[in-house]
Structure 1
Amino acid sequence: MPDVQALVNEFIIKLKRRKVEGSHATARYTADLLRSVISQHRVPHANQATSLLEAVKSVGELLIAANPVELAVGNIVRRVLHIIREEDLSLATTSIGGLSLSDGSDDEDDVERDDRSMLSAAAVAAASRSTLRAPSLHTLLEDIPDATGLHGTSSSGGDSEGKSKSDKNPKSRKLKHDVIEAINELIEDIDTCHEQIAEQAVEHIHQNEVILTLGRSRTVMEFLCAAKEKRRSFRVFVAEGAPRYQGHVLAKELVAKGLQTTVITDSAVFAMISRVNMVIVGAHAIMANGGVVAPVGLNMVALAAQRHAVPFVVVAGSHKLCPLYPHNPEVLLNDLKSPSELLDFGEFSDCLDFGSGSGVPLLHVVNPSFDYVPPKLVSLFITDTGGHNPSYMYRLIADYYSADDIVVQRRSAYAQ
């Protein structure tokens, strides 16, 4: 396999030069890279999970700093950290349960076996609590089985025997194997998220409805095409999404699939929204509070939809769910693109001259990439795991991310 450091440096350069853009592409690339990092990382016999966590964190910090606007990179890094913690906890509870059940002789009665199973369950629960919670004086005083006591290494001879056993113990290989398998499942979820979201289209799009969208989103395109394949007859209004005009590309794709499509200007959204039954848009990222970082212009569409009581639906894969809040200092909600998308080179050149000796040009051209849509304007999120309300985002975050990874990153950001 290629050198991991070379792969990391190559991806960092691509992120800095904007060679890799978009949540899906960056998430897929990040997951592949972290899988290579874990597969080539030498795991010691002791503190195996800690060693993997540190390796992923060191690479993840470099990737996030290369392009902080691509929030999907940080999402995948935190997902992988959560996977390592879960697999380590699973191995720990399994080993403790097996050690507890293996004690005792075969001629014990049923009562003693029941007592032993209860003790093993208590040991597993205690180990789970100690693994999930941060170290504290209270956890140290709890009755948690000690790993050294379980292996019988109290004496010096026992230490050498336990060391020789740990050398032969394939737990490190087992941990890496389980983590890589879980990352493979994550990559498969990223690759198939569009299809899984599109399968839900028939539940939300009905006959003779009018759908409005803005710009181009692959998730939205496959969502609408899936409804068309189910013999749903509906019409689509596509706002062109200036200044990049990705709506024109989406309109051509929808027409090629046989959908009735109408292209409108962004300024005509409020005039046409009264005819619309539903607004379906994509997203760049979904924040922890249910807010949406989306292509510029979507906040205007969301306000128009709220004014006319039109449902505003966001379709996005679970890899776009970010466990951070918009006010976090490490979150950059916007990226300014080149003014050449708005003005031709040489146009308004006389206005760009420095006037009145102030040293500041009279004309400024601002071309932001994203809008922020607050959660109160969103009616429903449709992800690859189903439909969710904005208030349910905290529950998905608890399933996908570990609180320790979020807290550590916040502290490091505040320290800077």
Structure 2
Amino acid sequence: MAEVQALVNELATKLRKRKVEGSRETARLTAELLRTVISQQRVTSAALVEVVRDVGQQLIAANPVELAVGNIVRRVLRIIRDGDLSPEVGGLTLVSQGDDGDIVEEDDKPFLLSDAISQTILHPPSLVAQLESKPNLVCHFEGKDKTPSSWQFKHQIIEGVNDLIEDINTCHELIADQSLELIHQNEVILTLGHSRTVKKFLYAAKEKKRSFQVYVAEGAPKHLGHVLANELTEKHLQTTVIPDSSVFAMISRVNMVIVGVHAVMANGGVIAPVGMNMVALAAKRHAVPFVVVGGTHKLCPLFPNNPEVLLNDMRCPSELLSFGDFSDCMDFSVGSGAALLHVVNPAFDYVPPELVSLFVTEIGGYHPSYIYRLISDYYSADDIVLQQKPAS
């Protein structure tokens, strides 16, 4: 439909132009768009799977770095597949229905329609039999529409997507509720950069009368750690800002590292802001727990070596140097015509699973070796790789 495609194009444009950033916001907008798409489509499961896959491919192509888009598409596909529980072959099925309206399955013995009709003719129900709570025979015809009712199937799918959106909106609060189990009195916590999940996690511990210190690595080149430090001091948390290069020197004073990440991969590794691997290596060297906090919408069923995964995103060089500082070095007329100075500004690091101690999600804490189980719970094996449509 033209109206639905316009909404898809609008979100794809925002993703392409980086007007929507961050896993949580990206996941929420994707889920809300898919809910709208499903409400406007035919209700057969095959049609919904095809439409959701097509929309997901458009959104993923707009910004492949935002892995949360593909995660939500796969979650919605799993909801659709879970709602499709009826058999493939159509036919006539005879079941019994009680007075309360509940369907009661008969035993495995085949029951013919002719038998039901003959019993009704030869033995008409008496008044006493009608007043007794005996099940009534109801015939259901199962065709290619695999659901007992079209509107019930669509309602079930939309309710599942609504629950997914609610989980995305409340994940920060549910994760923060577990702060007392990890942060103890007079501890020193280290984090890197700015993470909204980490901020709420520390806020919750402070509000529950935990007294602790926070070391914030500034997170160059964007220095988002300065923003987090200001926000923590506003909540009267004792905060110390350190340069990224001082992490190894300060890690021996730290009791725990708590960080937010961009995505959690299928092998238990994480894609995190640049500099995180250095922090994880320092924590491993000094036996400091390295704890990752994040919602299940960041759980990606792909491995880091999958072609669909872009491990890095190159940011604008101006975050490192202003153009006026190196414009003289960009003279292509010198020598072979190549620039004398190159500025590389990667956005992400990859942290292998052996450096991660614990994942804290809205449904609890898990070891990296348990990630495979969460993937099997949230994703269908048929949707792990979203195949591109063949060119016409």
Partner of 2:221: 243
Describe the superposition over 1:217-267 as per-residue Cα deviations: whole angstroms up to 9, x where unpaired: 000000011011111110000000011111011011111111100000000
TM-score, scaled relative to structure 2? 0.85
Identify which of 242, 245, 248 aligns with 1:264.
Answer: 242
Amino acid at match of 2:254: V
CA displacement at 1:42 relative to structure 2: 2.7
Amino acid at match of 1:225: Y
Partner of 1:68: 64
Identify which of 345, 350, 372 aligns with 2:328.
Answer: 350
CA displacement at 1:375 relative to structure 2: 0.3
Give the secondary structure class of the aligned counterpart of 1:3: helix
Q: Would the alpha carbon gap of residues 187 and 374 (structure 1) be closer, same or farther in structure 2, given more than 3 Å must change? A: same
For residues 289 and 10 of structure 2, the distance between their equivalents in structure 1, rounded to whole angstroms, comes to: 43
Partner of 1:23: 23
Q: Would the alpha carbon gap of residues 52 and 228 (structure 1) be closer, same or farther in structure 2, given more than 3 Å must change? A: same
Amino acid at match of 1:300: M
For residues 262 and 268 of structure 1, the distance between their equivalents in structure 2, rounded to whole angstroms, comes to: 12
2:191 counterpart of 1:213: yes
Identify which of 56, 75, 80 aligns with 2:76.
Answer: 80
Partner of 1:365: 343
CA displacement at 1:117 relative to structure 2: 3.9
- 1:56, 1:81 within 8 Å by CA — same for their partners in 2? yes
For residues 227 and 301 of structure 1, the distance between their equivalents in structure 2, rounded to whole angstroms, comes to: 23
Partner of 2:364: 386
- Which structure's residues are more often helix, by fraction? 1
- 1:329, 1:414 within 8 Å by CA — same for their partners in 2? no
Partner of 1:203: 181
Give the secondary structure class of the aligned counterpart of 2:338: coil
Partner of 2:115: none
Partner of 2:378: 400
TM-score, scaled relative to structure 1? 0.80
Amino acid at match of 2:256: M
Give the secondary structure class of the aligned counterpart of 2:69: helix
Identify which of 374, 383, 386 aligns with 2:352.
Answer: 374
For residues 413 and 281 of structure 1, the distance between their equivalents in structure 2, rounded to whole angstroms, comes to: 38
2:7 counterpart of 1:7: yes
Describe the superposition over 1:139-187 as per-residue Cα deviations: whole angstroms up to 9, x where unpaired: xxxxxxxxxxx9679xxxxxxxx79xx8xx8722111100000100000
Partner of 1:54: 50
Runs of 5+ unmatched residues, structure 1: 104-113, 121-149, 154-161
Amino acid at match of 2:331: D
Name the count of aligned residue pairs: 355
For residues 300 and 378 of structure 2, the distance between their equivalents in structure 1, rounded to whole angstroms, comes to: 10
Give identity over the alignment, percent: 69
Describe the superposition over 1:285-317 as per-residue Cα deviations: whole angstroms up to 9, x where unpaired: 000000100000100000000010000000000
Q: Would the alpha carbon gap of residues 346 and 256 (structure 1) be closer, same or farther in structure 2, given more than 3 Å must change? A: same
- Which structure's residues are more often strand, by fraction? 2
Q: Would the alpha carbon gap of residues 119 and 374 (structure 1) be closer, same or farther in structure 2, given more than 3 Å must change? A: farther
Runs of 5+ unmatched residues, structure 2: 98-103, 111-138
2:41 counterpart of 1:41: yes
CA displacement at 1:355 relative to structure 2: 6.6
Give the secondary structure class of the aligned counterpart of 1:346: helix
Q: Would the alpha carbon gap of residues 177 and 413 (structure 1) be closer, same or farther in structure 2, given more than 3 Å must change? A: closer
